Amino acid sequence: MRRYFHLYRVFATQFMKSLVQSKVDFIIGLLGFFLSQMFGIVFLSLVFKQIPSLNGWTFEQLVFIYGFAQIPRGIDHFLTDNIWMLAMRYVIRGEFDRFLLRPINPFFQLICDKFQADAVGELIVGFALVVFSVVNHTVTVTPVNVLLFMISVFAGALIYTSIKLFFASLAFWIKDSIAILQLAYETADFAKYPLSIYPKGIRFILTYLIPFAFVAFFPASYFLTGENVIMTIGAEVLIAGIVWIIAYAVFRKGLTVYESAGN
Amino acid sequence: MIHVENMSKEFISPKKYPGFKGALKGLFSNEKVRKLAVDNISFAIAKGEMVGYIGSNGAGKSTSIKMMTGILTPTSGKCTVNGIVPYENRQLNAANIGVVFGQRTQLWWDLPLSETFSILKEVYNVSDEDFKNRMEFLQEVLGFDSFIHSTVRTLSLGQRMRADLAAALLHNPKVLYLDEPTIGLDLVVKDSMRQAIKEINAEYQTTVILTTHDLSDIEQLCERIIIIDEGRVIYDGTIANIKELYGKRRSVTVDVMDIQALEAIDFHEVFNLSGELLAVAKEQSSISFDFDKNVLNISHIISKVMEGTAVRDIKIQDTQITDIVKEIYKHGM
């Protein structure tokens, strides 16, 4: 375990070095994600110019949910973005070989191969909106809340990672799982808004099939209302544990059916 | 060191039909195509041996190497490397082996070579002292000093292959797998690659398995070869032995002063041999013989020629391993 921490630092240092070398790329990427998140907020405020509240939620509350959702998403995006490569090229081109030839965990190598600095754009937007919500008293800061916030963000990021890993690992069987991964990942966009505004079918999917509702809406609703910590953040942590175990098991199983590519 | 027992690998893929209609048909049919890439192979390789693993394209070389390195799991049979089953204990096995795939680099594309080496040092847990010694040694045989600070993606093929080999040897593996390590390299780089492999083997008793289409690699490095064809081992033995078995032909070309003087001699009659055992071809100023060395001695031919005319030059050719292997690929054993 200590060795892995050490190795992680080695990889992270390398990444920082290459980041410094390509400042322009970094700034453009960061700006891109920052802007696309800001447009989301602008859109939300335009909608609220027409209606006073949405299904009982005020504009301020929606801004908090929206911002809160960005943080686990940004963390996952920053740390494990390379999982996408598993879905789109490592398996089909046989490039996954090299992860199986080194004496360290293949999943660890997969995520260490690249960090995604652009995600900082999402994190900035997320934190800015959360701070905004604290300042306008939409949510209150207490030591317990801060602790729960950290737990929730971590569990949320783990749910993101697991869902990505699960669908990307299907590539071991179907060679290229980018389309299905993209579809699954984009359902996360629904989770930026209150679950209660959606019809039954979508609610069912987001709760039980691709549990993105637990990443943002359920924990955010706890911070907004202070009710039901077990059913919101407790459930989030439990779901995070379950989906991670499933996704990692599928990944491990995938390694045994991996067929490489001819050369 | 390496034990392979009745190892097979079968790939199963959905059956494909040609054209757009075929694609639709394929969508709804459940037919599978089975391809037996490796068919029940067995062999054992001892510590410190250098073995050439050869076969035509698609014979199953890479597939069997991938099973020995742990990338692929055999469909049936088993193999152990240094007592470890590679596809069951990948990480444990990985610490003992070094792998170079000529077609695909394993270096980090965006990092300078020097950084790559320091990451590998951490990955394989190499001590500072060993790292320093080995880098010195590898630098000496492979000579990558001039490009050690270049980013991997900017290296030429020759530079990258030397770097790949160095990266595979940094942790002093017990077994080194080389899958077409000299493909596309110029003669100088080829030579330094071979030299490095030879020295590593001599120095550390590293077991080496080498697949290549360049048989001069094999002749310079290996005493033993395993030939694989359509997934089956068809030959496993020394190079000398295969030459003995298949290399019965010799050819000799004699440059003569006066070719006309030989006109009258019928060599088949002189040696009492049929055209199958002895082929004679005359050119403007030379005459060449291709014959079975078991029935005819070179000295007889030459003395016979010298009876007729003065000789300017003699060229004797042994059977090349290339010719033998070409024969085997074409006609089987």
Other Cβ atoms within 10 Å of A55 Cβ, number:
12
B254 with B235, same domain: the answer is no
- Residues (pLDDT < 50) of chain B are none
**What per-residue confidence (pLDDT) applies to B12?**
84
* Assigned domain for B258 exists: yes
Partner-chain contact A18 B123, CB within 8 Å: no
Nearest CA in chain A to B105: A98
pLDDT at B26: 67
Q: The domain spanning residue B142 has which CATH number?
A: 3.40.50.300
* Residue B122 sits in the same domain as residue B229: yes
Q: pTM of this prediction?
A: 0.83
**Average pLDDT of the segment spanning A160-171:** 96
% of chain A exceeding 90 in pLDDT: 56
Shared domain check, B220 and B260: no
Residues B68 and B203 placed together within one structural domain of the fold: yes
Pick from B11, B101, B118: CB nearest A263: B101
Residues B217 and B272 reside in one and the same domain: no
| Residues B175, B187: Cα–Cα separation, whole Å | 25
Q: Which two tokens stand for residue B80?
A: 């152990």
In terms of domains, do B135 and B175 share one?
Answer: yes
Q: What is the ipTM of this complex?
A: 0.80
B220 in the same domain as B88: yes
What length does chain A have? Answer: 263
What is the tally of structural domains in chain B?
A: 2
- Cβ(A78)–Cβ(A117) below 8 Å: yes
pLDDT category at A134 given cuts 50, 70, 90 is very high
Q: Of B205, B228, B243, which residue constitutes the final position of a domain?
A: B243
In a domain, B1, yes or no: no
**Distances in whole angstroms, Cα of residue B189 to Cα of each of A90, B124, B151, B193, B310:** 30, 27, 20, 6, 44
Binning pLDDT at 50, 70 and 90, where does residue A145 land?
very high
pLDDT confidence bin for A85, thresholds 50/70/90: very high
Q: Collect all residues of chain B within an 8 Å Cβ-Cβ radius of residue A97.
A: 66, 71, 101, 104, 106
Q: What is the pLDDT of residue B331?
A: 67
CB contact under 8 A, B179 and A105: no
> CA triplet A192, A197, A203: central angle to 5 degrees?
80
CA-based angle A246:A249:A251, to the nearest 5?
Answer: 110
Q: What is the model's pLDDT at position B281?
A: 85
Tens-digit pLDDT profile for residues A199-220: 999 999 999 899 999 998 899 9
**Is there a single domain that holds both residue B195 and residue B296?**
no
The Cα B170–Cα B115 span in angstroms is 13
Residue B284 lies in a domain: yes
Q: Which residues touch A36 (CB under 8 Å, ≥6 apart)?
A: none
How close is the nearest chain A Cα to the Cα of B139, in Å? 22
**pLDDT value, residue B74:** 93
Do B72 and B137 lie in one domain? The reply is: yes
User: Are B62 and B177 part of one and the same domain?
Assistant: yes
With respect to residue B124, please indicate whether it lies within any of the assigned structural domains: yes
Which of B187, B221, B243 is at the close of a domain?
B243
At residue B332, the pLDDT reads: 64
pLDDT score recorded for residue B28: 73
Domain boundary among B226, B243, B260: B243
> What residue numbers bound the domain in which B283 lies?
248-331
Single-letter code of the amino acid located at A224: L
A102–chain B Cβ distance below 8 A for any pair: yes
Both B218 and B287 in one domain: the answer is no
Which tens digit of pLDDT belongs to each residue from A23-75? 888 888 888 888 888 888 888 888 888 887 888 888 899 999 999 999 999 99
Q: Which among B123, B150, B171, B179 is the top mutation candidate for probing chain A, defined by the most A β-carbons within 10 Å of its own β-carbon?
A: B123
Query: Does pLDDT of A263 surpass 70?
Result: no
Let me know if residue B72 belongs to a domain: yes
Domain match, B184 and B69 both: yes
Domain CATH number, residue B255:
3.30.70.260
